[in-house]
Structure 1
Amino acid sequence: MNRRLIARLDVKMEHLIKGIHLEGWRKVGDPKARAKLYYEDGADELLYIDVVASLYGRNNLSGIVRKVASEVFIPITVGGGIRSLETVREMLSVGADKVAVNTAATQDPDILRAISDTYGSQATVLSIEAKKLTTGGWEAMTDNGRNHCGRNAVAWAVEGQKLGAGELLVTSIDQDGTGRGMDTALIAAIAREVDIPVIASGGVGNPRHVVEVLKNPDVSAVAVARDLHLGKHTLADFRNACLDAGIEMRRLERELAA
């Protein structure tokens, strides 16, 4: 099975931003232009997260997604402020393929079942923002990592699958934006307990970090943000490192023609 490289684009209003530990954001580009660039550079999917949606009670990405979906031909996942079937319908109608739900699912877990029953599990992603506990294990956080919900991250992943999630997006708050490597223990702890694809996010600082995570056969994809946005590495760098390590990846047409 081919593993996936996903370009993650965190958006505040109309700006592509990046922070550390899901806070301290700074503007790093245009979320529409970067999406097209990453598509052309070989991203397998795009992941948009509206980082202030929970504060304002709605997702503001429909305009961006509509524009991008007309220019790229890979799956698009949208997260942030997904609180109702109406919001899901809106996002899918403008071109998203999947929605990622975090805060609303912790408050009303049945929303996962409702989305899955209405649009299919393939369109239903449970987003888990996990923070390491001093006592061991990880807690799932909400509202872009700002608030506690009292749920154990691993147990919540298992419950999310039972409720109809077809995929998990697991973000390490501790590693996010640091470039110091991913929380492989967190990702492994969740991936071995579920039977659905797991996307690892948070902490990528070089291609070796991606290889490290994808060597785990239970991990399906890695979402990369910081290194792409700051121009430190390209998607080709990550893909080639994975291929060199024997990890199955989609080969681009230009590579096959070479």
Structure 2
Amino acid sequence: ITASHEQRDIMIDVVQRTAEQVFMPLTVGGGIRTIEDIRALLNAGTDKVSINSTACTNPEFVREAARKFGSQCIVVNIDPKRVDRDGEEFWEVHINGGRTPTGLEAVQWAKQVEELGAGEIVLTSMDCDGTKDGYDLEITAAVAQAVSIPVVASGGAGNPDHLADAILIGKANAALAASIFHFGEYTITAAKQRMRQLGVAVRL
């Protein structure tokens, strides 16, 4: 997450060992700066790469990556924060692990990355991330309805109901969660079962 901010290189050896053991789609992000970085990750076994900081500072990088490797493996991570701009709320995209504002508006940037060739967006609310109070459903729905590529909601999951809300209210195609699974609060199976009870068409 902080590889770009700290200007660290990608841990290719970790990716390779993970890909050898994990038999589900694997997406890797953080510190991706060049086409060679993407090639190295794909060769190491990752299925998709997630780009944020480099996409914002050099949008043509997204287009070049999509042309070389295909849109299906190019994910752009968008990290918006709610800020005040001349008395109006503005959903400003941030980079470098959420530390640096870009001046880009989240919905317009989402439309642009789709045009550039990204095949998927991971949308992480910087305001909700780590709170466990639920996703920012307003921003999620606005972005999801503005593009035709899949949008993954991220930032704020505290229970399986929040995951369902991301799909049913936020109109996301998928929901990303970390803490609730890492700390054993819920199993993935239990979360899926609850989502199905709430009306999400999820495979058990």
Common fold by TM > 0.5: yes
Evaluate the alpha carbon distance shift between residue 102 and residue 223 of structure 1 in structure 2; reply closer, same or farther with a 3 A threshold: same
Match of residue 195, structure 1, among 125, 148, 160: 148
User: In structure 1, what is the equivalent of residue 198 of structure 2?
Assistant: 245
User: In structure 2, what is the equivalent of residue 92 of structure 1?
Assistant: 42
User: In structure 2, what is the equivalent of residue 44 of structure 1?
Assistant: none
Structure 1 segments unaligned to the other structure (5+ residues): 1-50, 252-258
Aligned length: 201
Deviations 1:81-101 (A, max 9, x none): 111101001111111111111
Structure 2 segments unaligned to the other structure (5+ residues): none
User: In structure 2, what is the equivalent of residue 43 of structure 1?
Assistant: none
Q: Does 1:123 align with 2:123?
A: no
**Residue identity (%):** 38
Q: Deviation of residue 201 (structure 1)? A: 0.3
Q: Deviation of residue 217 (structure 1)? A: 7.9
C-alpha contact (below 8 Å) 1:204/1:227 kept by paired residues = yes
Q: Where in structure 2 are the equivalents of 1:16-31 lying within 5 Å?
A: none
Scaled by the length of structure 1, what TM-score is found? 0.75
Q: Does 1:204 align with 2:154?
A: no
SS at match of 1:126: strand
Distance 1:225 1:87 in 2: 25
SS at match of 2:89: coil
Distance 1:61 1:234 in 2: 28
Q: Deviation of residue 219 (structure 1)? A: 1.4
Distance 1:59 1:126 in 2: 19
Q: Deviation of residue 59 (structure 1)? A: 3.5
Distance 1:181 1:165 in 2: 26
Q: Write the letter of the residue equivalent to 1:160.
A: V
User: In structure 1, what is the equivalent of residue 121 of structure 2?
Assistant: 168
SS at match of 2:4: helix
Q: Does 1:112 align with 2:59?
A: no
User: In structure 1, what is the equivalent of residue 174 of structure 2?
Assistant: 221
User: In structure 1, what is the equivalent of residue 17 of structure 2?
Assistant: 67
SS at match of 1:83: coil
Distance 1:122 1:59 in 2: 24
Q: Does 1:155 align with 2:105?
A: no
Distance 1:77 1:214 in 2: 20
Distance 1:72 1:99 in 2: 16
Match of residue 232, structure 1, among 165, 168, 185: 185
User: In structure 2, what is the equivalent of residue 82 of structure 1?
Assistant: 32
SS at match of 1:200: strand
Distance 1:201 1:101 in 2: 15
Distance 2:155 2:148 in 1: 22
Match of residue 184, structure 1, among 130, 133, 137: 137
Distance 2:31 2:195 in 1: 33
Q: Deviation of residue 234 (structure 1)? A: 1.5
SS at match of 1:185: helix
User: In structure 2, what is the equivalent of residue 54 of structure 1?
Assistant: 4
Deviations 1:146-192 (A, max 9, x none): 00111001100000000000000000000001101110001001000
C-alpha contact (below 8 Å) 1:58/1:82 kept by paired residues = no
Q: Deviation of residue 216 (structure 1)? A: 4.1
Q: Deviation of residue 52 (structure 1)? A: 2.5
Distance 2:170 2:156 in 1: 19
Cα-Cα RMSD = 1.3
Distance 2:202 2:24 in 1: 15
SS at match of 2:97: coil
Q: Write the letter of the residue equivalent to 2:127.
A: D
Q: Deviation of residue 237 (structure 1)? A: 2.0
